[in-house]
Amino acid sequence: MSQFAVELNRLCDAKWPGGDRNANGQMAEWVSQQIHREVDRQYIWRIRKGRVYKVDADVRDALCTFFGVPADHFSLAARRTVGQEVEAAIAQTGLQVAGLRADELSAGGRSDLARLLREIGQVLESEKNGTES
């Protein structure tokens, strides 16, 4: 998943801690109004799933405004170290990992660990909500 998608999902989780079925629609409507062209909720969904590899600067800037973060927010987030990425994944999912020695993993291993932690968090959240992932 792209770093942009990871950070956008982190912002969404912070804004809607329990999730919101209309989140993509709300973001799409805001972005459309800001950039004066239509952006649909499926496009936002594709960004969040990491299926859009290059997000237009105007869409990125509108999303920054929507979340009240600086215009360079996604650029700064992309510069986080992989160790910070693991820490963010643990914080994002609310998981507690006993004896984690992420510093002993390679950069690729830490990246994989962060992805797995997020996936575990999604599975746990789905089970808590009584839905399948």
Instruction: Output the tens digit of pLDDT for each of the chain's 133 residues.
Output: 788 898 899 899 889 988 889 999 999 999 999 999 999 999 999 999 999 989 999 999 999 999 998 888 887 765 555 556 566 666 666 665 655 665 666 666 766 777 777 777 777 777 777 765 4
**Residue 23 in tokens:** 């989140």
Among the listed residues 7, 26, 2, the one whose alpha carbon sits nearest the alpha carbon of residue 89: 7
Domains, the chain, in order of start with CATH, read: 3-77 (1.10.260.40), 81-129 (no CATH)
| 41 C-beta neighbours (distance < 10 Å), count | 15
Query: What pTM was computed for the model?
Result: 0.59
Rg (CA), the chain: 15
**Residue 18 in tokens:** 């329990």
Rounded to a whole number of angstroms, the distance between the first and last alpha carbons of the chain is 17
